[in-house]
Structure 1
Amino acid sequence: MFSPEGPSLRELAVQALSSVERGYDLLAPKFDATPFRTPETVLDATASALHRMGPFGTGLDLCCGTGAGIGVLRRVCRERVTGADFSAGMLAVARRRVRGAGPPVDLVRADARALPFGPAFDLVVSFGAFGHFLPSERPQLFAQVRSVLRPGGRFVFPVAAPARPGSAAYWMLLGFDAVMRVRNAVWRPPFVMYYRTMPFSALGRELSGAGFRVRLQPLPEFGRRADGSPRVRLVVATRPQDR
C-alpha cells in the first residue's frame, strides 16, 4: 500500500495511538506518499466538473491537509484561495507546495466545526475528510460550511459509490472501521477515522437540513457499475440566494 517514501509500520502505530491532530502532525511529512492522499484522477475530474460550473471568485479547501485540493481551486478560482486545516504539520507541508501561477493562497489553522470566516467564499471543496467527523457532528459541520458561503455559493465534493456487500472492498472497510472502534473504546485520546459512516441517504438529508439545495452529478471519468450507477459522483450543494 505504501511507497518506500511512506511511513514505516512503527510510525503508523505511533500516529494511530495519537489524537487526530497529533497523528496528522506526525504523518504530514510523508502523507503524500500514502494511499490516504486523494488520487490525482479524482482531483482532475473534480476540477473539470468545476470548470464547467464556474468560473468562481474565491474558494476554500476545507480540511485541506497538504494542499491537494488547493491546486484544484487555483485552477477554477480567479481571486483568492484559502486552505483550512487543524493540523499545523499538514499546513506546513501545504505552504511548501503552494507555488506557480494562480490566485494568491492563504493557509489558516482552524477547526472545520468552528470556521473563523464570514460569508466570504463562492466555492468550498473538501477531499477525503468526512470520515474524521462523527455522524452527530455533521449537521454542525455543514452549517459552518453554509455560513462561510456567499448566497449562491457551492459546496462541492466527490463521493465514491459504496462498496458492494460481500466484496473485498466491503470487508476491508468494514474491518478497518471495526478496528478503529475497538481502538477508540480502549485508548485515549480517540482517533476518529471511519469509512462507513456517511451513506448517500444521510448525506442528502443532512445537507438539506443545513439549508442547501443538493444534487448529485456523475463523474464520467470513472464510468459506471454493472447496474448502471456511477462509480463516483460529485455532490453539489448550493446555498440559495437570499430573498
Structure 2
Amino acid sequence: MFTKQGPTVRELAVQALSSTERGYDLLAPKFDETPYRTPDRVLDAVTRAVRELGPFDTGLDVCCGTGAGVGVLRQLCRERAVGVDFSAGMLAEARGAFPPGSEGPAVHWVRADARSLPFAPAFDLALSFGAFGHFLPAERFGLFAEVYGSLRPGGQFVFPLGAPPPVGSRAYWSLFGFDAAMRVRNALWRPRFVMYYRTFRLGDVLEDLTQAGFVVRLLPLTELGLRPDGSPRARLVVATREGRGVGGS
C-alpha cells in the first residue's frame, strides 16, 4: 500500500496512538506517499464537473491537508483560493507545494478547526476531499453549518461521495474491520484518533446539509466508473446556499 518513501510501520503505529491532530502533524511529511492522498483521477473528475457550475472568484478547501483540493481551486477560481486545516504539519507541506509567486490565483493558508471556521460569508465555492471520516456523526451538522456561513449567497459546497461497497464484499469487510478496530482503540486509549469510513452515509449527509440550510443535488461522476447495476461508483454532492450569486456562481 505504501511506497518506499512512505511512513514505516513504526511511524504509523506512533501516529495511530496519537491524537488526530498530532497524528497528522507526524504523518504530514510523508502523507503524499500514502494511499490516503486523494487520487489524481478523483481530483480531475471533480475539477471537470465543478467547472460546469462556475465561474467562481473565491474558493475554500475545507480540511485542506497537503493542498490537493487547493490545486483544484486554483484551476477553478479567478481571484483567490484558501486552504484551512487544524494540522500545522499538513499546512507546512501545503505551503511548500504552492510557494508564493506561483502562477494562478492568490493562495492563502489558515490554521483552524473546521468545526469553528473563522470566515465571514466570503466564498463562491467550498470543497473538501477525504476528510469527513474525521468527524463524528454528531458533529456533521455543525460542520456543514460552518461551511454554509462561509459561503456567499449563491455559493456552492461540493464534494465527491463514493457508493458503499456491496455487503459481504472484500471492500465491505475491510472498511467494517477498520472501523471496528478504531472503535476498540478509542475505547481503550486516549487521546482519541477519529477516523471512520462507514459513518458518512448519503441519507444522513443529505439530511444534515438540508437542515444546515443548503439546497442539495447529486451529479454522477461517471468517469470514475459504474457499478454492476449501472449506477455511478461516485457522485458529486452539490450543496447551494440559495440567494443571488456572486462572481457568476
2:114 maps to a residue whose letter is A
CA shift, 1:224, in A, is 1.3
CA shift, 1:163, in A, is 0.8
Structure-2 residue corresponding to 1:181: 183
2:151 maps to a residue whose letter is L
Structure-2 residue corresponding to 1:69: 69
CA distance in 2, matches of 1:50, 1:160: 16
Q: Output aligned runs, 1:86-235, within 5 Å.
A: 86-99=86-99, 100-235=102-237
1:132 maps to a residue whose letter is H
Consecutive unaligned residues of structure 2, counting only runs of 5 or more, are 245-249
Structure-1 residue corresponding to 2:60: 60
Q: Which has the higher contact order (CA 8 A, sep 6+)?
A: 2
Does the alignment pair 1:38 with 2:38? yes
What is the aligned-residue identity percentage? Answer: 67
TM-score, normalised to structure 1, is 0.98
CA distance in 2, matches of 1:84, 1:222: 27
Consecutive unaligned residues of structure 1, counting only runs of 5 or more, are none
CA distance in 2, matches of 1:159, 1:6: 26
For residues 72-108 of structure 1, give each alpha carbon's deviation from its aligned partner in whole angstroms, at most 9, with x where no partner exists: 0000000100000000000000000014321010000
Structure-1 residue corresponding to 2:18: 18
CA distance in 1, matches of 2:52, 2:126: 16
CA distance in 2, matches of 1:138, 1:195: 14
CA distance in 2, matches of 1:228, 1:40: 24
CA shift, 1:223, in A, is 2.3
Structure-1 residue corresponding to 2:247: none
For residues 46-82 of structure 1, give each alpha carbon's deviation from its aligned partner in whole angstroms, at most 9, with x where no partner exists: 0001111111010000000000000000000001000
3-state secondary structure, aligned to 2:52: helix
* Aligned structure 1 segments of 4 or more residues deviating by more than 2 angstroms: none
2:240 maps to a residue whose letter is T
CA shift, 1:36, in A, is 0.4
What value does the CA root-mean-square deviation take over the aligned residues?
Answer: 0.7
TM-score, normalised to structure 2, is 0.96
1:115 maps to a residue whose letter is L
3-state secondary structure, aligned to 2:29: helix
CA distance in 2, matches of 1:55, 1:5: 38
Count, aligned residues = 242
